[in-house]
């Protein structure tokens, strides 16, 4: 990643003369005078911004929309100063064969040195023709670009797990990226979409520390996905106290009580919503009165309705169901606290075994 | 090789050179476009192909109708929320659920926030590079840009020569790095770009300003819906309670976040008035001779209407966005539109990759059936998995062909503004007359690529005004003692009838959007979406009528056939959303899971 563009070209047997010719072609293609040639050459001989190819399969573009909502850093600064976003069909100026040529060019010049970011996923049915790019299956574009990439970022729940188009019965047989790309390191950044600042943090972490963030066993950055929404939810004291919203817009809803009984999936969802929050820390779903729907979990579309209460105690550790916890709270505070400590210990043990 | 005339009046000639654009970029989703150009580089045949299909309605079958908004919201993350709103309206219509007045105001604020945000982001980040040349901006004198800025928008504070010099230097460093990122392989030497350098620099500067600002707008939806993209919605109202007096009000809409919303509305209005609209006019001044791209906008336009003033009344008189249909360019007659009438809206598939039972031409969405049927025509070039050239005489798109009383229709901001203008809507008429007068162009100039782009900007300004209107209304209602945000009387499925059907509609940023639902035994029995890009991106129908995209490209002169600036410019003026457009419901969803062996 620290190799400059020029060094890569030289390593591949390209002469300095050809390199300078490339620089003058670049200047000419932009309608710039010869005065720009040495400046372009100088920049390319020094440290380049890391190239990123950002491909889109079957998706809804919510990941890109989230990305541009990042406050720290601003999307503008990421794109202009940190990375070289050479291909992203949502914002790139070029189209058609000029767009496709960029993938070929990037592979030639940065073989093994660029990052592939994937938003969406490939469908396998109909020979992949439920998603066509340049007249060919998206699957082809994806596997080709992945084969030459240094690493892959799977943006969002589509690329990480399959998401909505892979919900039952998955008519197009859409599959997550890791099902078709098996020989590259993959960082999963799930969520529908992921939080904007989580996305830019993953990119800036790689650039700053020149390594990938520590991942859990599922391949998610530990710093954002190792704790449940429930663990850091500001309404958690109401859960522990047995204070629950019973109906939409009831008195308890207005007081901001726990949404567990309204189907909140916070107790089974690993994400940073309750800490980092959304839209520059403005809010997150529970704060705005709706339960978490669990959008960063694998297969969250098929885990029962969004308003069905998580029922079984063994689904989420031993906090017990809401009614039991409520009773405990009404009984003795001391006993409840002791129970909660025991809960935490067991949960940690379960967590080590299961989620990591 | 053939020359033919379509029933909707376009002469198609496919004898010239074929030009393929795939992928069409700077859109949502995936599409392909092919045109034939004659010896003078004039487009004489146009073919648009939707190149993705996800089958969301198949997935919805058998699910809880109260969950449908979350699924359909994922149809599109750009017009995020508009499908969710349409969905909750469809379910409420089916089950006869009335929502509180506050819920109506909050939903309208969310929908109008989307209109303002989506139009702004479209103009700067998806469309601007069709008109604006960032490389040319390097040649600008920052002083001249500063003067232009002060003249175009005297109230925008960021206008000093130093400011523009800083931005120019940043762009210069970026380009000199040789790593051009999103600008790579653009068409920067193409003579189709007409702006002088100082205007290019102003527009590029605002590209960056708008990128910074747009994220502020969506904080409104984070407050009301918890996050954006993809905020939360609720059948029966909104999930966000109001608590301006009692304890624990951090869990509801309180005075602090009401104030925050109010402040963002003001900022949004200011940005649109001081940056977006002046840029639109500045760009239009240089391109007002480029009046291609009208397509069918001067003939057939359709809008369902949206933004109900009072809750639960979806009649045309209560909708603040106009509703109606205009046929054959007769602006004197605006037809009423009924989404429940089986004879009005029908979808056809003769040129779409689906098949209908024998003898069926068009189907109303409540009775929509779809069998995917991917196959290329005999005259297609390439192979099944490597398409080199489409055969438009056969099936050629994942988009169906919806028709209103048999007509191909254009939907979207221009359609809404033409209908509003024809109806004599005071605000719309004032806005349009202002633009026509400022640019010194006749009303016919509306029916063009630029007209579409202008209508979108005007609508963004309108939406910001209406955000304030509903904010005031919300506050007045709370002041009057009404804090209700949800009606839970029919939340429990045991209260529902055994069978029900409903329709919900909105005006998405891109145009008329409808969801049709059938509920049986408390589960979704059938779900069908007909979305804006299905209308605009429609392939040919049984009669041979071409759709809005295809029509708009006809007879356009392109400067360089291998650099599709003009094609992108016109397609982008519709703000295509392909993930939205390609959704269908099968009668038997399970069948679709099988891999077909051919």
- Judge: B184–A75 Cβ closer than 8 Å, yes or no: no
Which pLDDT score is estimated for B588?
Answer: 43
The distance of B220 to chain A (nearest Cα, Å) reads 9
Mean pLDDT along residues B578-592: 53
Q: Minimum mean pLDDT among A146-160, B239-253, B298-312: which range?
A: B239-253
- B526 vs B56, B330, B529, CA distance in Å? 11, 36, 10
| Structure confidence by residue, pLDDT tens digits, A133-173 | 999 999 999 999 999 999 999 999 999 999 999 999 999 99
The distance of A132 to chain B (nearest Cα, Å) reads 5
CB B83 within 8 A of CB B529: yes
- Judge: A249–B485 Cβ closer than 8 Å, yes or no: yes
Per-residue DSSP letter, B98: P
B578 near A CB under 8 A:
no
Whether the predicted pLDDT of A353 surpasses 60: no
| Structure confidence by residue, pLDDT tens digits, B67-123 | 999 999 999 999 999 999 999 999 999 999 999 999 999 999 999 999 999 999 999
Which pLDDT score is estimated for A352?
Answer: 40
- Closest residue in A to B257 (Cα) is A282
Mean pLDDT along residues B481-492: 97
- Judge: A68–B125 Cβ closer than 8 Å, yes or no: yes
* SS3 state of residue B80: coil
Of A5, A99, A132, the CB nearest to B185: A99
> How many whole angstroms separate alpha carbon B162 and alpha carbon B139?
15
Give the containing element (helix H, strand E) for A226. Answer: none
Task: Give B 397-436 residues with CB within 8 A of chain A.
Answer: 398
Token couple for A298: 């694998």
Q: Which of B116, B115, B111, B120 is nearest to B231 (CA)?
A: B111
Q: Identify whether A73 is preceded by a cis peptide bond (ω within 30 of 0).
A: yes
Task: Give A 17-76 residues with CB within 8 A of chain B.
Answer: 23, 26, 29-32, 36, 39-41, 43-44, 48-49, 51, 56, 58-66, 68-71, 74-76
- Judge: A94–B214 Cβ closer than 8 Å, yes or no: no
- Judge: B188–A66 Cβ closer than 8 Å, yes or no: no
Whether the predicted pLDDT of A237 surpasses 90: yes
Which residue has better confidence, A326 or B104? B104
Whether the predicted pLDDT of B365 surpasses 90: yes
Residues of A in contact with B239 (CB under 8 A): 248, 288-290
B413-422 and B426-439 helices, crossing angle to 10°: 110
Locate tokens 């590079």: which residue? B129
Q: What is the CA radius of gyration of chain A?
A: 24
Residues of A in contact with B229 (CB under 8 A): 62, 65-66, 69, 193
> How many whole angstroms separate alpha carbon A156 and alpha carbon A162?
9
Which pLDDT score is estimated for A311?
Answer: 67
- Closest residue in B to A26 (Cα) is B178
Which pLDDT score is estimated for A300?
Answer: 97
Q: What is the CA radius of gyration of chain B?
A: 24
ipTM, 2 dp: 0.95
- Judge: A135–B386 Cβ closer than 8 Å, yes or no: yes
pLDDT > 70: what percent of chain A? 87
Task: Give B 113-132 residues with CB within 8 A of chain A.
Answer: 121, 125-126, 129
> How many whole angstroms separate alpha carbon A64 and alpha carbon A79?
12
The alpha carbon of B29 is separated from its chain's Cα centroid by a whole number of angstroms, namely 12
CB B230 within 8 A of CB A292: no
> How many whole angstroms separate alpha carbon B490 and alpha carbon B507?
26
- Judge: B372–A86 Cβ closer than 8 Å, yes or no: no
Question: Quick one: three-class SS letters along A278-299?
Answer: ECCCCECCCCCCCCCCCCCCCC
- Judge: B232–A235 Cβ closer than 8 Å, yes or no: no
Which pLDDT score is estimated for B582?
Answer: 62
Mean pLDDT along residues B477-500: 97
Which pLDDT score is estimated for A144?
Answer: 98
Which pLDDT score is estimated for A2?
Answer: 56
Whether the predicted pLDDT of B328 surpasses 90: yes
| Structure confidence by residue, pLDDT tens digits, B329-360 | 999 999 999 999 999 999 999 999 999 999 99
Sketch out chain A's domains with CATH numbers.
Answer: 1-48 (no CATH), 49-225 (3.40.50.700), 229-354 (4.10.480.10)
Which residue has better confidence, A119 or A27? A119
Which pLDDT score is estimated for A20?
Answer: 85
Please name every residue paired with B526 in a beta bridge, in sequence order, or none if there are none.
Answer: B518
Whether the predicted pLDDT of B598 surpasses 60: no
Residues of A in contact with B260 (CB under 8 A): 282
CB B65 within 8 A of CB B524: yes
| Structure confidence by residue, pLDDT tens digits, B520-562 | 999 999 999 999 999 999 999 999 999 999 999 999 999 999 9
Task: Give A 268-297 residues with CB within 8 A of chain B.
Answer: 273, 278-280, 282-290, 293, 295
Token couple for B316: 């045309």
Q: Which residues, other chains included, contact A285 with Cβ-Cβ below 8 Å and sequence gap of 6+?
A: A273, A291, A292, A293, B225, B226, B227, B232
- Judge: B230–A131 Cβ closer than 8 Å, yes or no: no
- Judge: A61–B74 Cβ closer than 8 Å, yes or no: no
> How many whole angstroms separate alpha carbon B349 and alpha carbon B370?
9
A254 near B CB under 8 A:
yes
Mean pLDDT along residues B302-326: 98
- Grade residue B171 by pLDDT with cuts at 50, 70 and 90: very high
Task: Give B 461-500 residues with CB within 8 A of chain A.
Answer: 483-486, 488, 491
Give the containing element (helix H, strand E) for A151. Answer: strand A151-155
The distance of A72 to chain B (nearest Cα, Å) reads 11
Mean pLDDT, chain B, rounded, equals 95
Choose, out of A22, A44, A72, A96, the residue to mutate when testing the contact with B (most B CBs < 10 Å).
Answer: A96
A122 near B CB under 8 A:
no
Which residue has better confidence, B156 or A28? B156
Mean pLDDT along residues B373-400: 96
- A143 vs A139, A177, A306, CA distance in Å? 6, 9, 34
* SS3 state of residue B462: helix
Q: Which of B582, B53, B75 is nearest to A138 (CA)?
A: B53
Whether the predicted pLDDT of A39 surpasses 70: yes
A94 near B CB under 8 A:
yes
- Grade residue B30 by pLDDT with cuts at 50, 70 and 90: very high
Token couple for A296: 């960063």
* SS3 state of residue A246: coil
Which pLDDT score is estimated for A38?
Answer: 86
- Judge: B24–A95 Cβ closer than 8 Å, yes or no: yes
> How many whole angstroms separate alpha carbon B201 and alpha carbon B411?
33
| Structure confidence by residue, pLDDT tens digits, A77-128 | 999 989 999 999 999 999 999 999 999 999 999 999 999 999 999 999 999 9
Residues of A in contact with B589 (CB under 8 A): 169, 171
- Grade residue B481 by pLDDT with cuts at 50, 70 and 90: very high
- Grade residue B583 by pLDDT with cuts at 50, 70 and 90: low
Token couple for B262: 């109010």
> How many whole angstroms separate alpha carbon B79 and alpha carbon A343?
43
| Structure confidence by residue, pLDDT tens digits, B439-472 | 999 999 999 999 999 999 999 999 999 999 999 9
Of B67, B180, B230, the CB nearest to A62: B230
Residues of B in contact with A101 (CB under 8 A): 185
Residues of B in contact with A126 (CB under 8 A): 372, 374, 595-596
Mean pLDDT along residues B284-292: 96
Which pLDDT score is estimated for B247?
Answer: 86
Whether the predicted pLDDT of A31 surpasses 90: no
- Judge: B59–A101 Cβ closer than 8 Å, yes or no: no
| Structure confidence by residue, pLDDT tens digits, A182-213 | 999 999 999 999 999 999 999 999 988 889 99
> How many whole angstroms separate alpha carbon A257 and alpha carbon B252?
10
CA neighbours within 13 Å on the CB side: how many for B72? 39
> How many whole angstroms separate alpha carbon B515 and alpha carbon B71?
12
- Grade residue A19 by pLDDT with cuts at 50, 70 and 90: confident
């Amino acid at each position: 990643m620290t190799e400059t563009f020029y060094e890569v070209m030289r390593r591949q047997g390209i002469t300095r003369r050809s390199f300078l010719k490339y620089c003058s072609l670049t200047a000419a293609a932009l309608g710039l005078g010869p005065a720009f040639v040495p400046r372009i050459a100088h920049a390319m001989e020094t440290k380049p911004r890391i190239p990123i190819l950002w491909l889109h399969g079957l998706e809804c573009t919510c990941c890109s929309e989230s990305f541009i909502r990042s406050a720290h850093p601003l999307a503008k600064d990421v794109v202009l100063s940190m990375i070289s976003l050479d291909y992203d069909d949502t914002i790139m100026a070029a189209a058609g064969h000029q767009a496709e040529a960029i993938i070929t060019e990037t592979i030639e010049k940065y073989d093994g040195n660029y990052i592939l970011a994937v938003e969406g996923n490939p469908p396998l049915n109909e020979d992949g023709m439920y998603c066509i790019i340049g007249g060919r299956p998206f699957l082809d574009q994806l596997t080709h670009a992945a084969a030459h990439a240094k690493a892959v970022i799977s943006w969002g729940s589509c690329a990480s797990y399959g998401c909505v188009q892979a919900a039952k019965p998955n008519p197009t047989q859409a599959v997550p990226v890791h099902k078709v790309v098996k020989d590259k390191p993959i960082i999963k950044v799930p969520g529908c979409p992921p939080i904007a600042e989580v996305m830019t943090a993953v990119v800036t972490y790689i650039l700053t520390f020149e390594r990938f963030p520590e991942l859990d066993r599922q391949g998610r950055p530990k710093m954002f996905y190792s704790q449940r929404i429930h663990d850091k939810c500001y309404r958690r004291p109401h859960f522990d106290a047995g204070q629950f919203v019973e109906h939409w817009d009831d008195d308890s809803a207005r007081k901001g009580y726990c949404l567990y009984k309204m189907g909140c999936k916070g107790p089974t969802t690993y994400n940073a919503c309750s800490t980092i929050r959304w839209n520059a820390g403005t809010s997150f779903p529970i704060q705005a009165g709706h339960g978490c729907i669990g959008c960063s979990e694998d297969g969250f579309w098929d885990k029962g309705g969004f308003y069905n209460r998580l029922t079984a105690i063994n689904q989420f550790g031993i906090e017990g169901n809401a009614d039991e916890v409520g009773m405990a709270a009404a009984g003795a505070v001391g006993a409840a606290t002791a129970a909660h400590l025991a809960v935490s210990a067991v949960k940690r043990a379960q967590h080590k075994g299961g989620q990591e | 090789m053939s020359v033919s005339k379509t029933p909707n009046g376009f002469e198609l000639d496919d004898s010239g050179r074929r030009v393929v654009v795939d992928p069409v970029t700077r859109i949502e989703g995936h599409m392909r476009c092919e045109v034939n150009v004659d010896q003078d580089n004039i487009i004489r045949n146009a073919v648009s192909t939707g190149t993705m299909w996800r089958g969301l309605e198949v997935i919805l079958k058998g699910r809880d109708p109260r969950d449908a908004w979350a699924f359909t919201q994922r149809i599109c993350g750009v017009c995020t929320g508009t499908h969710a709103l349409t969905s909750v309206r469809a379910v409420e219509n089916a089950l006869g659920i009335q929502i509180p007045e506050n819920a109506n105001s909050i939903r309208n604020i969310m929908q109008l926030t989307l209109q303002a945000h989506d139009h702004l982001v479209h103009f700067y980040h998806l469309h601007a590079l069709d008109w604006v040349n960032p490389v040319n901006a390097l040649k600008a004198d920052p002083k001249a840009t500063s003067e232009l800025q002060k003249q175009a928008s005297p109230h925008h504070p960021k206008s000093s020569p130093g400011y523009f010099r800083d931005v120019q230097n940043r762009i210069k460093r970026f380009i000199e790095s040789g790593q051009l990122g999103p600008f790579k392989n653009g068409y920067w030497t193409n003579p189709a770009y007409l702006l002088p350098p100082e205007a290019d620099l102003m527009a590029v500067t605002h590209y960056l300003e708008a990128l910074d600002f747009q994220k502020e707008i969506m904080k409104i939806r984070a407050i009301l819906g918890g996050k954006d993209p993809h905020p939360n919605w609720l059948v029966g109202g909104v999930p966000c309670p109001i608590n301006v007096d009692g304890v624990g009000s951090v869990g509801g809409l309180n005075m602090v976040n009401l104030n925050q919303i109010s402040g963002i509305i003001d900022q949004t209005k200011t940005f649109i008035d001081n940056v977006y609209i002046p840029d639109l006019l500045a760009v239009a001044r240089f391109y007002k001779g480029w009046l291609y791209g009208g397509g069918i906008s001067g003939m057939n336009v359709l809008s369902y209407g949206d933004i109900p003033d009072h809750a639960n009344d979806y009649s045309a008189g209560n909708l603040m966005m106009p509703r109606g249909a205009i046929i054959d360019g007769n602006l004197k007659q605006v037809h009423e539109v009924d989404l429940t009438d089986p004879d009005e809206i029908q979808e056809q598939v003769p040129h779409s990759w689906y098949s209908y039972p024998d003898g069926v031409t068009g189907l109303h969405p409540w009775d929509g059936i779809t069998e995917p049927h991917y196959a290329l025509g005999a005259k297609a070039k390439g192979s099944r998995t490597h398409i080199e050239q489409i055969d438009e005489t056969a099936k050629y798109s994942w988009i169906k062909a919806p028709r209103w009383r048999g007509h191909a229709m254009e939907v979207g901001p221009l359609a809404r503004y033409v209908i509003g203008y024809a109806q004599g809507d005071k605000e719309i008429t004032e806005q349009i007359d202002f633009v026509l007068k400022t640019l010194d162009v006749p009303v016919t100039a509306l029916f063009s690529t630029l007209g579409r782009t202008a209508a979108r900007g005007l609508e963004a300004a309108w939406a910001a005004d209406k955000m304030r209107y509903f904010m005031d209304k919300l506050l007045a209602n709370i002041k009057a003692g009404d804090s209700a945000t949800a009606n839970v009387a029919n939340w429990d499925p045991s209260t529902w009838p055994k069978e029900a059907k409903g329709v919900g509609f909105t005006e998405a940023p891109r145009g008329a959007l409808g969801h049709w639902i059938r509920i049986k035994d408390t589960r979704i029995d059938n779900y069908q979406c007909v979305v804006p890009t299905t209308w605009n991106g429609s392939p040919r129908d049984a009669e041979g009528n071409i759709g809005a995209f295809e029509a708009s490209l006809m007879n356009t002169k392109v400067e360089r056939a291998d650099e599709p600036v003009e094609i992108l410019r016109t397609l982008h003026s519709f703000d295509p959303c392909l993930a939205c457009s390609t959704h269908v419901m099968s009668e038997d969803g399970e069948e679709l899971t099988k891999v077909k062996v051919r």
